[in-house]
Structure 1
Amino acid sequence: MGAAHERGLGAAASQQNADADLDTLERGYGEMLGEVRANFNSGKAKSAAWRINQLKQIKRCIAENKDEMCRVMKEDLGRCKYEAIFGEALTVLTELDFMINNVESWVAPERQWHTLLVQPGYSEIRREAKGVVLVLSPWNFPVNLSILCLATAIVGGNACVIKPSEVAPESAKFIEMLVNKYLDTDLVRCVQGAVDETTALLRLRWDHIIYTGNGAVARIVMTAAAKHLTPVTLELGGKSPCVIDPSCSLKTAARRILGSKLLNAGQICIAPDYIITTPGYVEKLVPVLKETLVEFYGEDPSQAEAFGRIINERHHDRIMRLMDPSSHGGEIIAGGPDKADRASKYIPPTIVLNPSTDSPLMTEEIFGPVLPIITIDSIDESIDFIQSREHPLALYVFAENKDVIEKVVANTQSGGVCVNDCIYHITNPYLPFGGVGSSGMGCYHGKYGFDEVTHAKSVMHRSTMIDPSMRYPNKYNGEQAEKILDFLAKEGMSPATKKLIAVAGVSAIGFLLMRRSSRM
């Protein structure tokens, strides 16, 4: 009893020390947040010029430090120069240019239709920055996703505090360098750290939080945000299916699926997680997939410079558990756990045919270079299978048959869809990127990201030239209101006709005002 009692006291003391450390961190971050919020309240970030300057500074950082960016990608994720530039920089530069070219039009007030009831006058919408945005960025695309979320906050006119992932430490240092050397640190700060630092940050009141990662941490983020009624954007992931119809262009499909699946060794939130095809077509598909693997990485992918590594031993072990044949019961037709190497964090490109759909391989997000294939008899049954599971962040369909494409797109729910390719839908800044259900909430990229981190403030301007008596108490109000109700509720009058009548009313009011002013 004595030893147990002492262990209990020791655990309590450790918890008290941990709480004290968190309190200290919270106070320090609170002071930082107070400074940043005061600078935001000064109006410094309101102008389009300030936003454009900051976005151009991010571009400058990428241009001046591309070799360092490639080095940190190699250090953290074993990625080759091509992957580092293609995966981290090119899409970011496209997005930054899109923001720079459009922000002035986005910040301009948007004039809205002004109804007859409130004429004369005009209405508009003004997009206002929410305030100070907290960005919690991930480790898998540690430069790309950090910069995209940071740029989204900036283009909206917000201040921003970014916490890069400690799992990719060299990349986190790169982001800190970007912030401290190139950006306005009155309004943009970078915080380094791990769980304790994130926990302390989440105790504070932010005006918006952007989190990219997994569902378990997302629930923690949402719980913390709920205490302050802080809005959140969550980009999570899930198991993104890839439907292959026999009408597809097979060779192109195989190249695009594997090229996307194996980018960054499969550590991509929108990587095709598994393939669905028919039992008859799988016999044609498998040989082409195996040929494509050799084309991309040779007979031994461990020696291929273009093939990356798993981020750390913990994730290596997790993927190995999913690959264990005893856990999924499928047939390994390429790669496999026996060719993996924990010391170098290498897992080979692996294809598994018909694993159990109840196995961890088919219920957990893989986030690695393992591609299951399941066979289902028809497109309708494939749709039923997809819809029976959590909504994915992305869905892919390869087919030349337009009816098949439309059936899949129209009858499934997902964050986004790409037809006859994978991943590339996120490169179009005219499209929103975000999840649905367990794959996330909210969206960003382009104007959609600007809208996400700003508030649409309604503004109505009323004239004092006319002040109709019917809005004030008098004995005729009831009769006048009834006539208006009958007009608005009248069947058979199209919206265009009502609008035309409203325009005529506005014109009449304008004419009366002109006459009135000419007599004065």
Structure 2
Amino acid sequence: MPLQTTAHQGQDATAVAALAPTLQGLRTAWQARKPDHAQRRRDLQRLRDALKRRLDEMADAIAADFGHRSKDESRIADGMTVLNDIDHLLRHLRGWMKPRRVGVGWRFLPARAQVRPSPLGVVGVIAPWNYPVNLALIPLATAIAAGNHVYLKPSEHTPRTSEFLRSLLAEVFPAERVAVALGGAEVGAAFAALPFDHLVFTGSTAVGRKVMAAAAPNLTPLTLELGGKSPAIVADDYPVAKAAARIATGKWFNGGQTCIAPDYVLVPAGQRDAFVNALRAEVQARYGADLSNLSDYTRVVNAGQYARLQGYLDDAAARGIETLTLAGRADPASRVLPPTVLLEPGDDATVMQEEIFGPLLPVKSYRTLDEAIAYVNAHDRPLALYPFSHDRATVERILARTLAGGVSVNDTLFHFAVGNLPFGGVGPSGMGAYHARAGFDAMSKQLPVFWQARMTGGDLLKPPYAKAKWLLDLIIR
């Protein structure tokens, strides 16, 4: 059947054609001179120095894109995390680049073998809006450490930050080593369809499916960092106030707009109300009973996201779900949505079907730990899991019977920030991982090399095989 050419397909094809020369320029330059250890170190150090020097400018750009975002949270989440990962890359780069010798087994002696981490070529990075610098520069720095050139597509929803990234990277890298594609959804779709040597996408599961489909014709290897509904399970032995404090940090940091934020909390039935009261006290201590401390409370990024979250609340109200505003009140004009708890929502509620990505927190009670574990396992595997218990056996029971992209025990978010831990999802929450050695290896070809010896029994393994029957009998046993 002949292909039907639509206006949309034509626009995508035009966008691909516009992006393709830049990709080819990056690839041609890489093929002419692949970055050695010295070049990679210089690039990483210059990127670190430039970002450190421009952190205040970065925080201003992000705050302008969000309408308001806590500049301290930007310095932590989009500054400290990137600097920490670059430090880790610099510390381990030489060792990671070395070929690793592997045994060949007695049948192939006296040959030898090794695995060489070899750069792939050009890595594409599609970054989201919620942590627009972190989720652009950590994969970019990892790709640079692995010896690749990089083409970055930052989010169109944070245009000032995207322009900051373009300026920052132009200061550090020549155009043939790192390039930036600015533009909207049509540019993003075209970008995903380019024949990269590896593509890193961070975003929603729904868009991740589209990215995977766009990359499929080129068989582009993918790292997909998606999302989902990351649960916290509070065991009955864990102090309620401490659980509330740490879950509040994970939930309302960046206004809940975090892919690994606790998406819902499971608490013992007898402790539910105490937990909610502790959450309220924690929120009001941080932001004021009337949200007077708005300098530390991040806005919803844009009107579309605000309307989506308000839709979750409207759906909950229509279903009779009890909602509790923990502090302040909503202000649609400035996109302030207060910290809000939804009690015992059913799975039919929209807030329990979609990743929340905002300051709304469902709280559900359970009677037994087995019931809580079964609830988690009845849903898609999450990007993060947060067990709270001081009993090691309880934690091990949860870890043994569930699977998530990553885990922080007795806290939230921190497994992402540790430079030596891989970060990635599983199933609907993603595929592949980056950060640390996992990212370096993912953005390299682990090239197997077999070195044959001058004299080898393999020279005898040829017809007529009867002449080498003794050797065949020796090795086939």
Letter of the 1:277 counterpart? V
Post-superposition offset of 1:378:
0.7
After TM superposition, the structure 1 = structure 2 runs for residues 184-195 of structure 1, keeping only pairs within 5 Å, are 184-195=174-185
Cα distance in 1 for residues equivalent to 2:349 and 2:133: 33
Q: 1:44 to 1:476 in 2, by over 3 A?
A: closer
Cα distance in 1 for residues equivalent to 2:378 and 2:441: 32
**Aligned partner of 1:453 among 434, 443, 447:** 443
Does structure 2 conserve the Cα–Cα contact (< 8 Å) formed by 1:352 and 1:372?
yes
Counterpart in the other structure of 1:278? 268
Counterpart in the other structure of 1:64? 53
The one-character-per-residue Cα deviations of 1:425-475 (angstroms, maximum 9, x if unpaired) are 111122110000100000000110001111111001111144566423342
Q: 1:382 to 1:19 in 2, by over 3 A?
A: closer
2:295 partner SS: coil
**Aligned partner of 1:315 among 305, 309, 331:** 305
**Aligned partner of 1:354 among 344, 350, 355:** 344
Cα distance in 2 for residues equivalent to 1:82 and 1:469: 67
Percentage identity across paired residues of the two chains? 34
Counterpart in the other structure of 1:482? 473
The one-character-per-residue Cα deviations of 1:127-166 (angstroms, maximum 9, x if unpaired) are 1111111111000000111111111211111111001000
Counterpart in the other structure of 2:78? 88
Q: Which moved more, 1:200-209 or 1:132-141?
A: 200-209
| Residue 421 (structure 2) pairs with residue 431 (structure 1) | yes
After TM superposition, the structure 1 = structure 2 runs for residues 340-489 of structure 1, keeping only pairs within 5 Å, are 340-467=330-457, 470-473=460-463, 474-486=465-477
Does structure 2 conserve the Cα–Cα contact (< 8 Å) formed by 1:243 and 1:277?
yes
Post-superposition offset of 1:409:
0.8
Letter of the 1:73 counterpart? I
Q: 1:451 to 1:267 in 2, by over 3 A?
A: same
1:371 partner SS: strand
After TM superposition, the structure 1 = structure 2 runs for residues 38-437 of structure 1, keeping only pairs within 5 Å, are 38-45=28-35, 47-77=36-66, 78-301=68-291, 303-324=293-314, 325-335=316-326, 339-437=329-427
Q: 1:328 to 1:307 in 2, by over 3 A?
A: farther
Length-normalised TM-score, structure 1: 0.87
Post-superposition offset of 1:122:
1.5
Q: 1:85 to 1:480 in 2, by over 3 A?
A: same
Cα distance in 1 for residues equivalent to 2:180 and 2:337: 33
Letter of the 1:83 counterpart? E
After TM superposition, the structure 1 = structure 2 runs for residues 503-514 of structure 1, keeping only pairs within 5 Å, are none
Q: Which moved more, 1:410-419 or 1:21-30?
A: 21-30
Cα distance in 1 for residues equivalent to 2:446 and 2:318: 50
Q: 1:481 to 1:171 in 2, by over 3 A?
A: same
Which consecutive residues of structure 2, in runs of 5 or more, have no partner in the other structure?
A: none
Letter of the 1:92 counterpart? V
Cα distance in 2 for residues equivalent to 1:163 and 1:466: 51
Post-superposition offset of 1:327:
4.0
Post-superposition offset of 1:391:
0.6
1:263 partner SS: helix
Does structure 1 conserve the Cα–Cα contact (< 8 Å) formed by 2:127 and 2:201?
yes
Length-normalised TM-score, structure 2: 0.95
Cα distance in 2 for residues equivalent to 1:287 and 1:303: 20
Cα distance in 2 for residues equivalent to 1:452 and 1:92: 18
Letter of the 2:475 counterpart? I
Cα distance in 1 for residues equivalent to 2:9 and 2:459: 64
Cα distance in 2 for residues equivalent to 1:349 and 1:468: 70
Number of equivalenced pairs: 471
The one-character-per-residue Cα deviations of 1:472-495 (angstroms, maximum 9, x if unpaired) are 334243343234333xxxxxxxxx
The one-character-per-residue Cα deviations of 1:86-133 (angstroms, maximum 9, x if unpaired) are 111111111000001111111111111132222213210001111111
Does structure 2 conserve the Cα–Cα contact (< 8 Å) formed by 1:328 and 1:356?
no
